[in-house]
Amino acid sequence: MSAPSLNELRAKLDVDRAGELMHAFASELFPICRSITGAGVRETLRRISDRISLDVHEVPTGTPVLDWVVPQEWNIDAAWVNDPSGKRVVDLRENNLHVVSYSEPVHAHMTRAELARHVFTLPDRPQYVPYRTSYYERSWGICMTHEQFEGLPEGDYEVCIDARLDDGALTYGEVVIEGDGPEEVLLSCHVCHPSLANDNLSGIALATFASEALRGLALRHSYRFVFIPGTIGSISWLAANERNLSRITAGLVLSGVGDRGPFTYKRSRRGDTTIDRAVEHVLRMAQQPFDVFDFSPYGYDERQYCSPGFDLPVGRLSRSPHGEYPEYHTSADDLAFITPAALGDALSTLLAVIDVLEHDRRYQNLNPKGEPQLGRRGLYRAVGGAVDRRSAEMALLWVLNLSDGEHSLLDIAASAALPFDVVRDAASTLEEHELLAPVAGA
Ligand code: ZN
């Protein structure tokens, strides 16, 4: 029996059910205290690996990676603050965001004023705990709601951060779903944020479930899923894989895809590569609001993939842009902020984009002088429902007219403003009737 196709998989995908399972997976990962290195990343990768068998790589502390050096590994067992009455007012066990990531260890008594120098709050959002990091500068800090901090009395505070910074490793995971051809598609997400749902876990859930969906299918391209700590992880991955990058013909950074906002697509640095046109076409055809931005050297790991020395064709698929929603990098980016519907829709959208990458190619019309007589071949009025039939017939005409060896199916779908799969189906029908032939190597 031959392997099932992506089309068959997409036709049977239960988007609602997939969204529920993705949300459940995000919920499973939510309590883990992640950072750019350490036990939290390893545990996260282990849970992902339970589903999709990752290759896990450890890059030792001190390894030079491009212009950077892999830092010491950070691990934490506890962090708390006791107020002057001895009552525990902050505890890492209640929320991983309470400690600044990469805090150095401390155990000391101090006044409220001394404590205040190490406390981070959000006065404009007094009920949210902020997320803060100090990866490359030795310091320590406690994060709490502004409301709570305002209510703390004067007196003697006891602060403990039981953390360790040691030589160890930076950990990342990857898995390749092999296709028949030489081209590779890179799908990357970050795994370094602690209990934040949209910024981190939504991308992890999407990459994990997309990888699971593609496994076992007959595919034209290979799909490399990379689960890495932000910035230093993609830099380490690029340093280790520099010689293989020419295989990558398309890629996406997946992040922030679980909130209720519309999709946003950030173009690759080149701006007009196949992935850019594929995502834009899929979003346009979905008939829901969406936004497209040009590349900028700020954001997630697309900054590294699209640095000028690599300039990979990698865009970014998100919903609400990072930094532009009040819940971003706060305790309000929790499991209620992401929805099963948004996650399921993200999976279905990503698979639609992959369908374009799989089937986009150029064809030659074998009967280019005048239109071939479609009625005689049973190609007119051959399909069911009137709307479907009209789209299918329009697609036949568009494919015949633009299949001059220059335009690909994606070009044709964009010109015709028709869903890619309708155009793809028209091409395969015309090929069956020997009116169309694929252009070799295209
Ligand atoms: Zn972030």
From the CA of 193, how far away is ligand 1's center (Å)? 7
* For residue 234, pLDDT beyond 70: yes
| Higher per-residue confidence, 383 vs 286 | 286
Give residue 389's pLDDT.
82
From the CA of 177, how far away is ligand 1's center (Å)? 27
DSSP bridge partners of 365: 436
Give residue 384's pLDDT.
61
From the CA of 190, how far away is ligand 1's center (Å)? 9
From the CA of 97, how far away is ligand 1's center (Å)? 12
Give the pLDDT band of residue 3 (cuts 50, 70, 90). confident
From the CA of 204, how far away is ligand 1's center (Å)? 13
179-188: per-residue pLDDT in tens? Answer: 999 999 999 9
Residue 386: CB atoms within 10 A of its CB come to 8
Question: H-helix or E-strand containing 430?
Answer: helix 420-432
From the CA of 165, how far away is ligand 1's center (Å)? 22
141-180: per-residue pLDDT in tens? Answer: 999 999 999 999 999 999 999 999 999 999 999 999 999 9
From the CA of 30, how far away is ligand 1's center (Å)? 14
- What CATH code is assigned to 362-438? 1.10.10.10
From the CA of 362, how far away is ligand 1's center (Å)? 40
From the CA of 353, how far away is ligand 1's center (Å)? 25
From the CA of 335, how far away is ligand 1's center (Å)? 16
| Higher per-residue confidence, 286 vs 7 | 286
From the CA of 96, how far away is ligand 1's center (Å)? 14
Q: Which residues have a beta carbon within 5 Å of ligand 1, which is an ion?
A: 199
From the CA of 214, how far away is ligand 1's center (Å)? 27
From the CA of 192, how far away is ligand 1's center (Å)? 8
From the CA of 322, how far away is ligand 1's center (Å)? 7
From the CA of 333, how far away is ligand 1's center (Å)? 10
Phi-psi region of 42 (alpha: psi -120 to 50; beta: other; left: phi over 0): alpha
The CATH H-level (homologous superfamily) assignment of domain 75-166 is: Domain of unknown function DUF2172 (3.50.30.90)
Mean pLDDT of 364-377: 94
From the CA of 131, how far away is ligand 1's center (Å)? 9
What global pTM score does this model have? 0.96
From the CA of 411, how far away is ligand 1's center (Å)? 35
* For residue 1, pLDDT beyond 80: no
DSSP string, 68-87: EE---EEEEEEEEEE-TTS-
Phi-psi region of 375 (alpha: psi -120 to 50; beta: other; left: phi over 0): alpha
Give residue 440's pLDDT.
85
Comparing CA positions, the residue from 167, 142, 205 lying closest to residue 58 is 167
Comparing CA positions, the residue from 434, 401, 405 lying closest to residue 418 is 401
From the CA of 200, how far away is ligand 1's center (Å)? 7
Comparing CA positions, the residue from 350, 316, 349, 198 lying closest to residue 260 is 198
From the CA of 329, how far away is ligand 1's center (Å)? 6
Comparing CA positions, the residue from 356, 355, 370, 369 lying closest to residue 409 is 356
From the CA of 406, how far away is ligand 1's center (Å)? 42
Give residue 387's pLDDT.
67
Q: Identify the three-state secondary structure at position 416.
A: helix
Residue 277: CB atoms within 10 A of its CB come to 19
Query: What are the residue ranges spanned by the domains of the chain?
Result: 6-70+169-359, 75-166, 362-438
From the CA of 132, how far away is ligand 1's center (Å)? 10
Residue 181: CB atoms within 10 A of its CB come to 12
DSSP bridge partners of 164: 75
Taking all residues of the chain, what is their mean pLDDT, rounded to a whole number? Answer: 96
From the CA of 245, how far away is ligand 1's center (Å)? 26
From the CA of 155, how far away is ligand 1's center (Å)? 35
182: CB partners within 8 A, 6+ apart = 247
End-to-end CA distance of the chain: 28
CA distance 107 to 14: 52
Q: Which amino acid is at 85?
A: S
- What CATH code is assigned to 6-70+169-359? 3.40.630.10
CA dihedral 146, 150, 156, 158 (to 10 degrees): -20
From the CA of 25, how far away is ligand 1's center (Å)? 19
Give residue 162's pLDDT.
98
* For residue 117, pLDDT beyond 80: yes
From the CA of 203, how far away is ligand 1's center (Å)? 11
From the CA of 246, how far away is ligand 1's center (Å)? 29
Give the pLDDT band of residue 386 (cuts 50, 70, 90). low
From the CA of 256, how far away is ligand 1's center (Å)? 9
271-327: per-residue pLDDT in tens? Answer: 999 999 999 999 999 999 999 999 999 999 999 999 999 999 999 999 999 999 999
Give residue 4's pLDDT.
85
